Amino acid sequence: MSWIGRLVAPVVVLVGLAVKFGGFSIKVFGVFLAVGGYALIWGWEFAVGFVLLIAVHELGHYVEARRQGLDPALPVFVPFLGAYVALRNAPFDPWRNALVSIAGPILGGLGAAALLVVGELRDDRFLLALAYTGFFLNLVNLIPAGPLDGGHVLRAWKVLRQGGGRARPEDARRLGRVVALLAAGTAAALAVGMFAAHVPQDRL
């Protein structure tokens, strides 16, 4: 039964660290758990690249929230589900929340675009595959449903469109149009990036 011990031991260590160091350990070791989980599917190199793409996406949320003077928590990685950035003590503001939500796909798309450029210059199919995955990941996050970034953007847009969230309803509706254009433009740019990064089978 020694194999059971080898499986259980890391879990016991992680639980002990979580008890000793609290939430910070969950954030740190969540990254390693995420890499390990994805490596089981795609191999460690792709797993590391994939998690870094997620980190860049979450950094977009974090940086925008800090820019607005909010108090975001560090990104928390959840293996096989992704990651999230929690806003602490932040009252709902549709305009600010929309910007924080869109910032993730925007910075994530820029990260994928950097991989695309380097991959094309070096004719590196691995980097192109990562770039394609990055564009796809961020585009999916803009689907206007559920807990995805697009779902948060949709809820903020609905409030603004109805004239809420600002002292003057006309200002709210104007910001709502900006949110819609920004979300649509980001989604279109990500789709173009996917098309550009796609590697045909005859090039694999």
Cβ atoms < 10 Å from Cβ of 153 = 26
Closest CA to 103 of 153, 157, 60, 155: 60
C-alpha 128: how far from chain center = 19
Structure tokens of 123?
A: 């004719």
Q: What separation in angstroms does the CA of 16 have from each of 6, 12, 13, 20, 29?
A: 16, 6, 5, 6, 12
With tokens 């996917």, the residue in question is: 194
Q: What is the pLDDT of residue 78?
A: 58
With tokens 């991989």, the residue in question is: 115
Q: What separation in angstroms does the CA of 87 have from each of 37, 59, 64, 74, 98?
A: 26, 13, 11, 9, 13
- Residue 160 pLDDT level (bands cut at 50, 70, 90): very high
Give the mean pLDDT of 67-94: 69
Give the mean pLDDT of 19-44: 51
pTM of structure: 0.75
Give the mean pLDDT of 48-75: 84
Dmax (CA) of the chain = 69
